[in-house]
Amino acid sequence: MTASATLAATPDKIRVAAVQYRLHGISSPDELERQVEYFTASASDYGCDFITFPELFPMQLLSPARLSAAAAMDAIDALTPRFNAFMAGLAQQYRINIVGGSHPVRIAGGAMRNRGHIFLRDGTTHHRDKIHPTPSEREAWGIEGGTARDADVIESDCGPVGLMICYDSEFPELARRLVDQGATVLFVPYCTDDRRGHLRVRYCCAARAVENQCYVVTAGVTGNLPNVFNMDIHHAESAILTPSDFPFARDGIAAEVTPNSEGMAIADLSLADLRKAREGGAVRNLADRRLDLYKVEWLD
């Protein structure tokens, strides 16, 4: 099915939330779970179809004691079953689709991946691995990149959606593949240590929204985790981004959170407006591609 055909089959409007999560030391997983449930319940009360949590926010679970990098990877992997069961339960309890951020997991063979889980309100769980680990992730934690499968859409009750974890948003090939598969909304959980890192993500996500005529939802972490190696300082300005054309927000930002505060941005996303923009907007990036001159080949 083409992107246009998929868009025609989706709802006219969906409501999404982006959580800006403040990292701080905790003494037990219960504390993280209470805060996650608070945000999830709030988004559900507002009638949201999706809520997005940031990249690496579950690393807060490691804050009770300082561990070596290797021990930290073992510990966060061991906590994954509890985390996933809890998040899947929330998605069904509050009838909301949850993009559960991401965190390191150990896959068969022993390699570490930065994995994002998507917990749908129909009871299914999906995952996508970060394709482009940062130098910091590779050097500190031994994170390896995912495969082409991790650049495939997830089918939801709001239509196909895409997940790009932080640095992945800085590579336009991923977003274009997801949109060509029918995605209208791209979720970008991110974790950056300063404003320069944040702006790399923000500027690239704004570009992805324009060039693909889609919505991009970014959710970042703030605060600090003194006990967790490689999770020192953080900067976030989470936002819900739109294309830049007449039906959309004047500055291409449907909603955003105050910099470095904990909070949640909520916006209604009109898929009908996307359809109109793609078919008759001031510019029509998808339709105007010169596929007779260039293409991207994925080695599936």
Give the residue numbers marked as catalytic.
55, 130, 166
β partners of residue 113: 105, 144
Cβ partners under 8 Å of residue 255, min gap 6: 18, 239, 240, 265, 266, 267
Q: 99 with 118: CB under 8 angstroms?
A: yes
Half-sphere exposure for 106 (CA within 13 Å, toward CB): 13
Task: Please state, in angstroms and rounded to a whole number, the distance separating the CA atoms of residues 24 and 116.
Answer: 21
Report the DSSP pairing between strands 13-23 and 263-270: antiparallel
Residue indicated by tokens 């949590």 = 53
Task: Please state, in angstroms and rounded to a whole number, the distance separating the CA atoms of residues 218 and 256.
Answer: 9
CB burial string 191-203: b at 16+ within 10 A, e below:
bbbeeebbebbbe
Report the DSSP pairing between strands 239-241 and 215-223: antiparallel
Task: Please state, in angstroms and rounded to a whole number, the distance separating the CA atoms of residues 54 and 257.
Answer: 13
Secondary structure element (H or E) that encloses residue 201, with its range: helix 195-212
Alpha-carbon radius of gyration of the chain: 18
Task: Please state, in angstroms and rounded to a whole number, the distance separating the CA atoms of residues 136 and 224.
Answer: 17
Task: Please state, in angstroms and rounded to a whole number, the distance separating the CA atoms of residues 75 and 118.
Answer: 21
Q: 186 with 170: CB under 8 angstroms?
A: no
What are φ and ψ of residue 131, in 5° steps?
-85, -35
